C-alpha cells in the first residue's frame, strides 16, 4: 500500500502574502528571511555612539507603541476613539501589510486567512493575535499555531498540523482521524493509505487504545483489514486472511493473550474457521463454515488454565 498522498505532508515552504496596492487582494510571493547585518566599527569610536543612538531610537519606538496599545485599550470604551487611533497607526505605516505563513500542508491557505480576519485587522500593534490563534487552532488539521508581530507591518504565522492516525468509516463516509479521534477531513478521492481502518459509532475515540493493545501482537496487527466497533462496547477484528476475532467488552488484552497462546501451538488462524469467539472469559469458541460443524467432534479441553476450545455456533446472550 502507498502512503496517503496530500494529507498531513509538510513541504516546509514559507509563503509571503502582501496586500496588492491596486486590488487590495492577497497575492503570493517569495519570503526570504534576511538576517540583520552586524554594526560595523567606525573610525574614531563612532560605532559606539551610533549603537547607542540606534538603541535609544528603538526604545523610543517601543515606548510609543506600548503607549499606543495602552491608549487603544482605554479608548475601547469611548465610541469612535479606538477606530481613530487605529487609523493613525495604519497611516503611520503600522498596518498589517504582509503575512508570512509557514507549516501548512493539508490546511488550505484560504482557511487560515479567513481565520486571521485581516479585513478587520487594523494596526499591527493592536491586532489581537491571541484571538486569531484560537480561530486558527479550531481548524480541523491544525494542532497549534503561533503568531508573531514583526514591526513595522508583518505578521508571522507558523502552523503545526496533526498527523493522520487511522481511517474511520461510518456508512459510506471515510474520514481521516488523529490519535485523539479528532476528524481531520475526508480521505481524498482516489487516495490509497496504509493507515488502519476502524468502523462504526465510537470507533474513532477508542482506536488509539485498540491499536496500542495490538502492538503486542504484531502478526495480528499486520494482518488486520478492519476493526469493527460493536454496540459501543467491544471490537470485532476482521483479518485480511483468516477468521474474524470477536473480542470481549471486558479485559480484551487478556483474551488476546489466550488467543496468542493457542495460535502458537495449534495455528488456529490458518484453519477453516469463520470466527474465533473470545467473548466468554477463559474460553474460545470456534465458528465453523456451514455444514462442517456437523462432521467434526468437539475438541477436548486444552490444558488447565488455558481455556477450552470447541466448535460453536453463536453463543447465547453474548453481544
What is the mean predicted confidence (pLDDT) over 47-51? Answer: 50
Locate CATH 3.10.20.310 in the chain.
Answer: 14-24+49-161
Closest CA to 150 of 67, 74, 36: 36
Cα gap 3→17, rounded to integer Å: 31
Locate CATH 3.40.50.11690 in the chain.
Answer: 166-311
Average pLDDT, rounded, for the chain: 76
Task: Indicate if the pLDDT at residue 149 is higher than 80.
Answer: yes
Task: Indicate if the pLDDT at residue 137 is higher than 70.
Answer: yes
Q: Has domain 166-311 been given CATH number 3.40.50.11690?
A: yes
pLDDT at 117: 92
Task: Indicate if the pLDDT at residue 139 is higher than 80.
Answer: yes
Q: Between residues 36 and 158, which one has the greater pLDDT?
A: 158
Phi, psi of 285 (to 5 degrees): -110, 135
Phi, psi of 175 (to 5 degrees): -120, 145
pLDDT at 277: 96
Cα gap 176→308, rounded to integer Å: 40
Task: Indicate if the pLDDT at residue 288 is higher than 90.
Answer: no
Cα gap 296→28, rounded to integer Å: 72
On whether the CB atoms of residues 232 and 201 are closer than 8 A, the answer is yes
Question: Which of 103-107, 284-288, 294-298 is the least confident region?
Answer: 294-298
Task: Indicate if the pLDDT at residue 159 is higher than 90.
Answer: yes
pLDDT at 32: 35
Question: Which DSSP state fits 179?
Answer: T
Q: Between residues 83 and 120, which one has the greater pLDDT?
A: 120
Whether the model clears a pTM of 0.75, i.e. scores above it, the answer is no
Phi, psi of 282 (to 5 degrees): 80, 5
At residue 257 the predicted structure's pLDDT band, cuts being 50, 70 and 90, is very high
On whether the CB atoms of residues 229 and 219 are closer than 8 A, the answer is no
CATH says 14-24+49-161 is which class?
alpha beta
Task: Indicate if the pLDDT at residue 73 is higher than 90.
Answer: no
Task: Indicate if the pLDDT at residue 178 is higher than 50.
Answer: yes
Q: Between residues 303 and 132, which one has the greater pLDDT?
A: 132
On whether the CB atoms of residues 162 and 178 are closer than 8 A, the answer is yes
What is the mean predicted confidence (pLDDT) over 64-85? Answer: 53
Task: Indicate if the pLDDT at residue 31 is higher than 70.
Answer: no
Amino acid at each position: 500500500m502507498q502512503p496517503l498522498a496530500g494529507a498531513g505532508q509538510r513541504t516546509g515552504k514559507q509563503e509571503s502574502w502582501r496586500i496588492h496596492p491596486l486590488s487590495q487582494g492577497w497575492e503570493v510571493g517569495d519570503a526570504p528571511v534576511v538576517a540583520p547585518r552586524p554594526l560595523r566599527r567606525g573610525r574614531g569610536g563612532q560605532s559606539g555612539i551610533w549603537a547607542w543612538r540606534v538603541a535609544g531610537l528603538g526604545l523610543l519606538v517601543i515606548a510609543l507603541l506600548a503607549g499606543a496599545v495602552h491608549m487603544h485599550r482605554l479608548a475601547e470604551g469611548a465610541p469612535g476613539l479606538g477606530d481613530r487611533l487605529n487609523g493613525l497607526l495604519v497611516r503611520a505605516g503600522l498596518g498589517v501589510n504582509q503575512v508570512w505563513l509557514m507549516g501548512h500542508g493539508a490546511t488550505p491557505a484560504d482557511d487560515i486567512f479567513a481565520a486571521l480576519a485581516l479585513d478587520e485587522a487594523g494596526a499591527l500593534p493592536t491586532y489581537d493575535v491571541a484571538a486569531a490563534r484560537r480561530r486558527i487552532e479550531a481548524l480541523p488539521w491544525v494542532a497549534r499555531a503561533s503568531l508573531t508581530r514583526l514591526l513595522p507591518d508583518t505578521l508571522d504565522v507558523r502552523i503545526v498540523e496533526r498527523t493522520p492516525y487511522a481511517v474511520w468509516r461510518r456508512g459510506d463516509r471515510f474520514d481521516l482521524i488523529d490519535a485523539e479521534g479528532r476528524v481531520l477531513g475526508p480521505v481524498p478521492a482516489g487516495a490509497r493509505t496504509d493507515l488502519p481502518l476502524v468502523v462504526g459509532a465510537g470507533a474513532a475515540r477508542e482506536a488509539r487504545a485498540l491499536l496500542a493493545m495490538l502492538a503486542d501482537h504484531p502478526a495480528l496487527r499486520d494482518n488486520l483489514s478492519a476493526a469493527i466497533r460493536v454496540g459501543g462496547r467491544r471490537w470485532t477484528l476482521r483479518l485480511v486472511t483468516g477468521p474474524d476475532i470477536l473480542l470481549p467488552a471486558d479485559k480484551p488484552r487478556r483474551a488476546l493473550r489466550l488467543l496468542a497462546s493457542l495460535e502458537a501451538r495449534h495455528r488456529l488462524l490458518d484453519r477453516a474457521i469463520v470466527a474465533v469467539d473470545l467473548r466468554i472469559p477463559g474460553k474460545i469458541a470456534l465458528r465453523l463454515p456451514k455444514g462442517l460443524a456437523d462432521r467434526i467432534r468437539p475438541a477436548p479441553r486444552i490444558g488447565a488454565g488455558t481455556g477450552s476450545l470447541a466448535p460453536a455456533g453463536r453463543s447465547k446472550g453474548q453481544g
